[in-house]
Structure 1
């Protein structure tokens, strides 16, 4: 697929108010294949030809308007939740109808309030020790002087962290979840953008395997709920399961057991792979930037964290893990600047294109944490966690996790640097990861 031939003719006129965005003149199946297989390149080509707003028509999502204009991102994220709901379909297909992904309007607001306490303030501070312990446990087996992939170790660290913070302690049930969750995440990520067949496909099909996982997961979680409810010290526990079981809606009602299970699966599934992917990119970057690595190491030794925070912000900009955030037009239509978007359409904010916009970030191709030292990123152009009412509820948790993992590794290890070519981007279905797994060579600090 060439850049000159894959999109079609350029738009030749300025849109008038209320006009439908320019639709790509390609067959739906061609758009669907490009969207599924080479999405970032496909969207970048379309943006170059049609500007920052254009319409696709792809299987599964249907009529979909891509927005990469920072001036138009704000009204999308601040729109009434009666006008724009969550993108359709969404990850509730994987996590279940009780997941926050499945909820809209008042139900979504109420659930967010219920889920918020574990992810703010002192609650997150309490999890730092767990993050450090899991990092030390995983890194104890790292080879010295020999290249290895960091992505899978980061996946194990973040999975163990979220399991311990969700359930509070180790045990046979958590060992079982450690076994079944990684293959489920891998399969679920690949199936998330595929429509489910309207007929039964059998227990050994991908959909049958997802259904079996869900039955196994619910069985384990219901057992853990029973144990928690029987725990005389439930009111003293700080794990997320205990907080959810103690929480109440404004009318005094509680979440159902199935809703609790759906939300816990959401936290486990969405709460570890994306952070692990970002950490894999962190090591990929450090290997190739000795000056940045040296500055981070010196800061760790001095007990600081400001440059590490700037590094994380720049990492999330330059190595975008999730490339779009979506909404669905529930109103009769939605006016966005000069455009009128029809009822039933999806709107996808192109996060990756915003992060690469030279009008917002000078020399965006350059990896430069200094751009965020003593400077906050722009609210509606730096969007690794999405934005608006559906911004990732675990953003602060993920930020803390990256801080603590990097601090712990840099305290105990030296990372060798070289001039190896940048690792290419690999799409794992949902997250974008370093293709070679974020390979590094480390040595223990004396």
Structure 2
């Protein structure tokens, strides 16, 4: 057996490290990085003994390692989203499924979804109060949920209404279950996982109805992802099963709903505290531009990543990762927030400075809010487009009032780290043209 060489780490017991991880994960990670350097070993109830890395070279090596060396580490996400989810699949089966899911999220397909997202943004923002504080996170949650239900699920009518009611509490519940240890015994229907499966059965029944409806329509005329998945075929000509489709639709919802909405809430929180950037963004939106808005989205994701860790499991004994030799079965965690704070990569790293990305796109092994390698978030392009459209709509239709209030603290919602006050905003509507368009959109709500 190969001798392991592991980075140093705290000697405190597992339950103590777990408590720190639950109560202040980012602060704990930063303290460990300051004490031990850009790699250290931890021991927590969820991951066991694990190596945390935040050096760019080692992160790139991990993300580009072959599937025979390391594999995805999302044990609870796979259980939450189903056995057919990309988070649960490994090896060739993961690549086989991913191949079918790539086409809807690239190129001209994305343009077809922009109108849906703008409609949902205008409709939701029509209800925003004027000149008094309110949290934008619930609104952003509704926008991203409705956009995904229409663009991805192709839902309308009764199914759209049912999913709007079912999914928000289920996603929130599953997000919290995903960061808890998996129980060793089945505790029945009244246990947390048992209650979760009650939601799942209701969801599967709705998706079955959506598939039945789609089967009676001309799928070639539909642009939603459900229709594309029903038309897709594996290399051997076989279609996806209903269970696989249900799992993948849920995966796309989970990956693109809460995280995107939370990033938009952070964008509002950041912009209110940087009035110069806000003025430039409003002027750019009036002129029909978008370069600074795209750079702002990139900087929000750098300074306020909603997910701060992504992991891999070592499959072979003696896996060499930079300076370290890791044993089989070990977990490697990538500190997303830690590398985003690296002064050697991002000068004045703690400052919010979108202009740094105006003339330079970030390296995808140094800026990693979507993960990296063959496990990089499939919906990254969709999420980026969605955030761009929502911010463009807000800047066009509203004046966002700056504030001198302290930064909102991070609050864990399970998987995602959200602004503690929900991204509080004060807005004023801009002009009669936008008021009329908002009123028309609100009147057209389903």
Tell me if both proteins adopt one fold, taking TM over 0.5 as the criterion.
yes
Pick the aligned partner of 1:221 from 204, 207, 217: 207
Any idea what the Cα deviations from partners look like across 1:309-346, whole Å, max 9, x if unmatched? 11111111011111011111012231011200110011
Any idea what the Cα deviations from partners look like across 1:337-390, whole Å, max 9, x if unmatched? 120011001111100000111111111111100100111112211001000000
- Residue 93 of structure 2: aligned partner: 107
Do structure 1's residue 122 and structure 2's residue 104 form an aligned pair?
Answer: no
Pick the aligned partner of 1:306 from 291, 294, 312: 291
Matches of 2:222 and 2:399, distance apart in 1: 37
Matches of 2:327 and 2:25, distance apart in 1: 23
- Residue 46 of structure 1: aligned partner: 32
Deviation at 1:88, TM superposition (A): 5.0
Do structure 1's residue 331 and structure 2's residue 320 form an aligned pair?
Answer: no
Deviation at 1:90, TM superposition (A): 4.2
Deviation at 1:18, TM superposition (A): 5.9
Q: Residues 155 and 110 from structure 1, CA distance in 2 versus in 1: closer, same or farther, beyond 3 angstroms?
A: same
Q: CA RMSD in A?
A: 1.3
Pick the aligned partner of 1:84 from 56, 65, 70: 70
Do structure 1's residue 359 and structure 2's residue 344 form an aligned pair?
Answer: yes
- Residue 293 of structure 1: aligned partner: 278
Do structure 1's residue 36 and structure 2's residue 22 form an aligned pair?
Answer: yes
Question: Contact (CA 8 Å) 2:76, 2:177: kept in 1 or not?
Answer: no
**Local SS of the residue matching 1:101:** coil
Do structure 1's residue 405 and structure 2's residue 390 form an aligned pair?
Answer: yes
Matches of 1:274 and 1:288, distance apart in 2: 22
Pick the aligned partner of 1:172 from 151, 158, 166: 158
Matches of 1:18 and 1:205, distance apart in 2: 39
Matches of 2:152 and 2:385, distance apart in 1: 16
Do structure 1's residue 421 and structure 2's residue 403 form an aligned pair?
Answer: no
Question: Contact (CA 8 Å) 2:306, 2:416: kept in 1 or not?
Answer: yes
- Residue 132 of structure 2: aligned partner: 146
Matches of 1:108 and 1:250, distance apart in 2: 14
- Residue 318 of structure 1: aligned partner: 303
Matches of 2:131 and 2:373, distance apart in 1: 45
Question: Contact (CA 8 Å) 1:61, 1:88: kept in 2 or not?
Answer: no
Q: Residues 327 and 109 from structure 1, CA distance in 2 versus in 1: closer, same or farther, beyond 3 angstroms?
A: same
Q: Residues 414 and 88 from structure 1, CA distance in 2 versus in 1: closer, same or farther, beyond 3 angstroms?
A: closer
Deviation at 1:205, TM superposition (A): 3.3
Pick the aligned partner of 1:441 from 410, 422, 426: 426
Any idea what the Cα deviations from partners look like across 1:110-154, whole Å, max 9, x if unmatched? 111100011000111100000000000000111111111100100
Aligned residue pairs total 429
Question: Contact (CA 8 Å) 1:415, 1:443: kept in 2 or not?
Answer: yes
Q: Residues 88 and 236 from structure 1, CA distance in 2 versus in 1: closer, same or farther, beyond 3 angstroms?
A: closer
Do structure 1's residue 134 and structure 2's residue 120 form an aligned pair?
Answer: yes
Q: TM (normalized to structure 2)?
A: 0.94
Q: TM (normalized to structure 1)?
A: 0.94
Question: Contact (CA 8 Å) 2:9, 2:32: kept in 1 or not?
Answer: no
Matches of 1:309 and 1:176, distance apart in 2: 34
- Residue 43 of structure 2: aligned partner: 57
Matches of 2:4 and 2:48, distance apart in 1: 21
Q: Which runs of 5+ in 1 are unaligned?
A: 1-16
Matches of 1:286 and 1:63, distance apart in 2: 39
Matches of 1:387 and 1:405, distance apart in 2: 25
Matches of 1:169 and 1:425, distance apart in 2: 33
Pick the aligned partner of 1:274 from 241, 247, 259: 259
Q: Which runs of 5+ in 2 are unaligned?
A: 432-446
Deviation at 1:203, TM superposition (A): 3.2
Matches of 1:345 and 1:325, distance apart in 2: 14
Question: Contact (CA 8 Å) 1:88, 1:328: kept in 2 or not?
Answer: no
Q: Give the 5 Å matches for 1:16-27.
A: 19-27=5-13
Deviation at 1:40, TM superposition (A): 1.0
Any idea what the Cα deviations from partners look like across 1:390-418, whole Å, max 9, x if unmatched? 00000000000011001011111111112
Question: Contact (CA 8 Å) 1:196, 1:207: kept in 2 or not?
Answer: no
